[in-house]
Amino acid sequence: MGRPELAPGAGLWLPGTNGIHMLFMRFPIDCIFLGRPEPDGGRIVVGLRRALPPWRGVVWFVRGAHGVLELPAGTIAASRTELGDKIVIETSAPSG
């Protein structure tokens, strides 16, 4: 919130959630909802929301979700992500 955009290749990982809102957002985003981590660290894609509009988009509940990746709009299509895919999350510290 409060940022003018998400840079290409950037994203925000929100662990432990199964819903989001777009209040105070200034730009559309794609959201990938993921299940609990599996023994290998991967998480199954359980929900996809494309180009959620700023201020208007609300996702109240995604069944089986235990975290969401917020990504620049168009990332789901560009990556060809589908329900049932497995994703491994690797985090990095923000750059200065």
Q: Which residues contact 2 (CB under 8 A, 6 or more apart)?
A: 24, 26
Total Cβ atoms within 10 A of residue 54:
14
Q: Is residue 94 part of a domain?
A: no
Mean of pLDDT over the chain: 89
Helix (H, G, I), strand (E, B) or coil at 2: coil
Q: Is residue 93 part of a domain?
A: no
Predicted model pTM: 0.87
Task: Give the total number of structural domains in the chain.
Answer: 1
Q: Is residue 96 part of a domain?
A: no
Which pair of tokens denotes residue 94? 């923000």
Q: What is the mean pLDDT of residues 5-18?
A: 87
Top-confidence residue, 17 or 5? 17
Top-confidence residue, 10 or 79? 79
- Residue 8 pLDDT: 82
Which pair of tokens denotes residue 4? 């003018």
pLDDT higher than threshold 90 for residue 68: yes
Q: Is residue 4 part of a domain?
A: no
Q: What phi and psi, each to the nearest 5 degrees, are found at residue 88?
A: -110, 130
Which residue range forms the structural domain that includes residue 78? 12-87
Q: Is residue 39 part of a domain?
A: yes
Distance between CA 18 and CA 47 in Å, rounded?
9
